[in-house]
Structure 1
Amino acid sequence: MVIISNIFKGTAMIDYSPFWETLKKTNENWYTLTSKHHMSHSTLHRLKHNQDISMKTVNDLCRILHCQIQDICVYVPSDEDQPL
C-alpha cells in the first residue's frame, strides 16, 4: 500500500488520506456523511485539509464506514514533532 502524505506546513503528524480512499469504497459520500450521519461540514473540511480531528470523530467514522482506524488515518513521523 502506498500512502501519500498531505503534510501542510510540516506540522501534521497524522495523515487522513486513507479516509478518502476508504470513503470511495463505500456507499457513503460527503453528502451522506453530513445529511444522514450528521457529521459537520467543518469536520469534513478538517479531514480534507489534513487538520486535527477528535478520536470520537475517528470512532464515528469507523462505525459509519465499517472499517478500522488504519483505514481512516496513519501516523507520519516528522522531524518537527513536538519534543517529548
Structure 2
Amino acid sequence: MIDYSPFWDTLKNSTESTYTLINKHHISSSTLDKLRKNRPLNTTTINDLCRILDCKIEEVCQYIPSEDDQRL
C-alpha cells in the first residue's frame, strides 16, 4: 500500500498549506482527498507535489506492505 502520511508532515513543516495548494498551485481538492484516504495518485501529481514542497518523494509517500495489496 502506498501511504501518504509523510506528505502531511512535510506540508505542516513547509510554508504551504492546503489553501495555497488549491488556490496558488491549482492542486484540486479531490487530489487532497486522495492523499487523505491513501487513494492512488499518478506520478505527475506526486512530481508536482515534490516540486511545490521542494522535497524528495519519500517526504510525500512511502510503501507499506499490506495483506490488502492486490495479488500478483
Which 4+ runs in 1 deviate beyond 6 A? none
Q: What per-residue deviation string (whole Å, max 9, x for no partner) do you get for residues 7-55 of structure 1?
A: xxxxxx0000000000011000000000000010100011111111111
Q: What is aligned with 1:46?
A: 34
> How many equivalent residue pairs?
72
TM-score, scaled to structure 1: 0.82
Q: How does 1:1-84 map to 2 (within 5 A)?
A: 13-84=1-72
Q: Which structure has more helix as a fraction of its residues?
A: 2
Percent of matched pairs sharing the same residue:
57
Stretches of structure 1 lacking an aligned partner (at least 5 in a row): 1-12
